[in-house]
Structure 1
Amino acid sequence: MWGLALCGVSVAGLVGAGLVLRNRRLPRAKGILLSSLSGSALLLVAGALVALGSHPALAAEGVSAVATASTGAGLGFLAASLATGLACLGAGFAVSSVGSAALGLVGEKPEMLGSTLIYLGLAEGIAIYGVIVSLLILGKF
């Protein structure tokens, strides 16, 4: 639980720093960015270590679900997370390239807005397919 809290604090701190420093001209912006990213990375690693280190404590308290988890279930959860994560990453790349091209086209021909939205929806559908595959994988357990 504390590991998840550390990860949440890390992400919230990084987002908060980005909101505070947005639209400001700072002389050492790269240094601030690198220090906030390194601090966030340290908090994420600490949170992951705390979360992974708490396994024996949970098993000692009598939580049998953690003790009976098999390697196959762990690999299934890893496959589900990779399916969603990689599909969303691919959808992000697709939406960025299609979106920039669509904005350029709509700037020149505003009547083409409907066609460009269809292409953006198709690019975003890649992420939905990844979520569906991960739900199918998780349905096996």
Structure 2
Amino acid sequence: MATWLACLPLIVAALVVSRLLRRRGERAVRLLLLADGALAVAALAVLAIALTAEPSSASHVTAAVNAGARTTGNWAALLGAGIAVAGSTIGAGIAVAYTGAAAVAAMSERPELFGRVLVIVGLSEGIAIYGLVVGILLLGKA
């Protein structure tokens, strides 16, 4: 819920900019570039603060050790799980885009191909499921 509340100003700003782009082209593009520049400066400021910040205390390490969690050694499994899930979902999105477009084109000419087309699109969606399974297996190792 907090994420939606934090993103609400960005959503409103995007809607305002899209309205401006429809009405005033060049001025809206300048406004959009100005907003992008301000966002980039803010992101660099947050990055600089994060990189130069001192660790707060050792209490979080003590709490993690007391809870039985390992503090080192599981980053590779977590990174691998993230890469597996991200890569598979991006690949599945691309596959569904191409097969979905071809499926709609084929069904517009021959509606009786619905069953076959559904299987082909489902196979391309299966790529994301395989990546999710690999990610879950890697999280089990972490």
TM-score, normalised by the number of residues in structure 2: 0.67
The AA in structure 1 aligned to 2:115 is G
How far 1:107 sits from its partner (Å)? Answer: 1.0
CA distance in 2 between counterparts of 1:56 and 1:133 reads: 34
Alignment length (residue pairs): 134
The equivalent residue for 2:71 is 69
The answer to whether 1:25 aligns with 2:25 is: no
Question: Where in structure 2 are the equivalents of 1:96-107 lying within 5 Å?
Answer: 96-107=97-108
Instruction: Name the larger-Rg structure.
Output: 2
Moved more, 115-124 or 53-62: 53-62
CA distance in 2 between counterparts of 1:64 and 1:41 reads: 35
Assess if the C-alpha contact under 8 Å between 2:96 and 2:121 holds in 1.
yes
CA distance in 1 between counterparts of 2:108 and 2:133 reads: 35
How far 1:75 sits from its partner (Å)? Answer: 1.2
The AA in structure 2 aligned to 1:92 is G
The equivalent residue for 1:131 is 132
The answer to whether 1:119 aligns with 2:120 is: yes
Moved more, 57-66 or 94-103: 57-66
CA distance 1:109–1:93, shift in 2 (3 Å): same
CA distance in 1 between counterparts of 2:107 and 2:127 reads: 23
CA distance in 2 between counterparts of 1:99 and 1:124 reads: 11
How far 1:90 sits from its partner (Å)? Answer: 0.6
State the SS of the aligned residue for 1:84. helix
The AA in structure 2 aligned to 1:69 is T
1:53-77 per-residue CA deviation (whole Å, 9 max, x = no partner) reads 778226345653289521x311111
Root-mean-square deviation (Å): 3.8
The gaps in structure 1 that reach 5 residues or longer are none
CA distance in 2 between counterparts of 1:41 and 1:12 reads: 19
Assess if the C-alpha contact under 8 Å between 1:14 and 1:37 holds in 2.
no
CA distance 1:140–1:68, shift in 2 (3 Å): closer
CA distance in 1 between counterparts of 2:40 and 2:104 reads: 35
1:97-119 per-residue CA deviation (whole Å, 9 max, x = no partner) reads 10110011011111111211111
